[in-house]
Amino acid sequence: PGIQGYASVVSGYLDDCTCDVETIDKFNNYRLFPRLQKLLESDYFRYYKVNLRKPCPFWNDINQCGRRDCAVKPCHSDEVPDGIKSASYKYSKEANLLEECEQAERLGAVDESLSEETQKAVLQWTKHDDSSDSFCEVDDIQSPDAEYVDLLLNPERYTGYKGPDAWRIWSVIYEENCFKPQTIQRPLASGQGKHKENTFYSWLEGLCVEKRAFYRLISGLHASINVHLSARYLLQDNWLEKKWGHNVTEFQQRFDGVLTEGEGPRRLKNLYFLYLIELRALSKVLPFFERPDFQLFTGNKVQDVENKELLLEILHEVKSFPLHFDENSFFAGDKNEAHKLKEDFRLHFRNISRIMDCVGCFKCRLWGKLQTQGLGTALKILFSEKLIANMPESGPSYEFQLTRQEIVSLFNAFGRISTSVRELENFRHLLQNVH
């Protein structure tokens, strides 16, 4: 039954968009995934600054996770390239001007010494430096608690973090943040009754496309994380060695059509939906990265240039994908209503990013924060009016900004989803051998 249930998942057309799973698989697994992996191994993308010690804003979190596999090893300060650590490099001409201006101030220069151009730039910079576009609660990376983490040395994999604590996080995310009515329980567990499930899905059908999309994004993220945990399962743990690898049983328990009464296939469809949303954001933000003065700055000139070339190559590839999701179908109705809906969407999502501070296991917290920030950045790109208003017709706009944190999380988050899609193919082969 595994194969049947599964095969019906990974074929055919997806809801709310015009593409099919096979096209995405081929495009991702053979064209995008290998290059993306290479990019994410570079210094620029492997070091992520994160504050893992922010207190949970919603309940008292007693961090009860003493498991070794949950530990995150922060970087020694001399491991991280100076170019990344120094705050001096920012991401636009204006920011560079602002930097000049701050330096001038430090040197005791008076205001008159600033050129008119600089003054204007400073004004503009402060004006659009507000967080009104942001879908995420931004980590205070200036905090002494924030540390650089080497993502390659702290891979996302099975940690044993489960049970009531992990359960609580996901249920809070679903129950309180997914625009859902109080009376209908979402079918989190596979063993729950069919009746409840059907009520839930008919409720979901009745939602407007945006609210449904919100739910699907969260479910897709959940599915993606579970694909990783099944693919890097702790298979062997003794004093000789630890071994991580594919656990087909675990995968089936979460995704098999029959075992999950249809829920698993839906989860995987949502994973593809999430993939398409992030893919679309990447194709849209290309002009930002094409700016001549944009650098993936680490201080190593040769590497930085090569990295930018690879990044642009990837983004052009992304742009060539024939079946892009049309985000214009979102927030398209009555202007006031669309505005309110978008604001709701943003607030709900910010809440989810704050909930990540409540995840008890540091390793899971790290990847949870990174992936929500990445998705938040994708949403910021898709729905930013600045970007819509200014690109690409009038050339790259300097009003649209991304921080290094946003860039690193955007690509790493997409890298995780891309890996999940790749892993689905591996599981498909493994399942064929089982039967």
Ligand X SMILES: *[C@@H]1O[C@H](CO)[C@@H](O)[C@H](O)[C@H]1NC(C)=O
Residue numbers annotated as active site: 361, 364
Question: Is 254 annotated as a binding-site member?
Answer: yes
Restricting to residues 278-337, name those near ligand X by CB under 6 A: none
170 is in an annotated binding site: yes
3-state helix, strand, coil in the chain (%, to 5): 60, 5, 35
Q: To the nearest whole angstrom, how small is the minimum distance from the Cβ of residue 73 to ligand X?
A: 24
Give yes or no for residue 167 binding ligand X (CB under 6 A). Answer: no
Alpha-carbon distance 293 to 152, whole Å? 28
Whose CA is closest to 398, among 89, 84, 86, 90?
90
**Residue 369 binding ligand X, by CB under 6 A:** no
Task: Assess 253 for contact with ligand X (CB under 6 A).
Answer: yes
> Contacting ligand X (CB under 6 A), which of 109, 208, 347, 389?
347
Q: How far is CA 207 from CA 214, 351, 372, 400, in A?
A: 11, 21, 23, 31
The verdict on whether residue 157 carries a ligand-binding annotation is: yes
Phi, psi of 236 (to 5 degrees): -140, 130
- The residue within the footprint of ligand X, chosen from 176, 261, 290, 317 (CB under 6 A), is 176
Smallest distance, Å, CB 248 to ligand X?
A: 8
Strand duo 147-150 + 233-237: pairing: unpaired
The residue to which tokens 């120094």 are assigned: 86
Q: Choose which of 104, 172, 259, 338 interacts with ligand X (CB under 6 A).
A: 172
For residue 210, the one-letter residue type is E
Q: Considering only residues 348, 365, 404, 422, which one is a binding residue for ligand X as defined by CB under 6 A? A: 348
**Complex with ligand X: residue 244 or 289, whichever CB lies closer:** 244
**Tokens at residue 381, please?**
């790109």
List 177, 397, 401, 418, residue binding ligand X (CB under 6 A): 177
What are the backbone angles phi and psi of residue 415, rounded to the nearest 5°?
Answer: -60, -40
Residue 222, annotated ligand binder?
yes
Provide the token pair at 16. 């709310």
CA distance 375 to 398: 22
Min CB(156)–ligand X separation in Å: 17
Q: Which residues bind ligand X (CB under 6 A)?
A: 58, 172, 176-177, 233, 235, 247, 249-250, 253, 347-348, 351
Annotated binding site for FAD: 157, 159, 170, 219, 222, 254
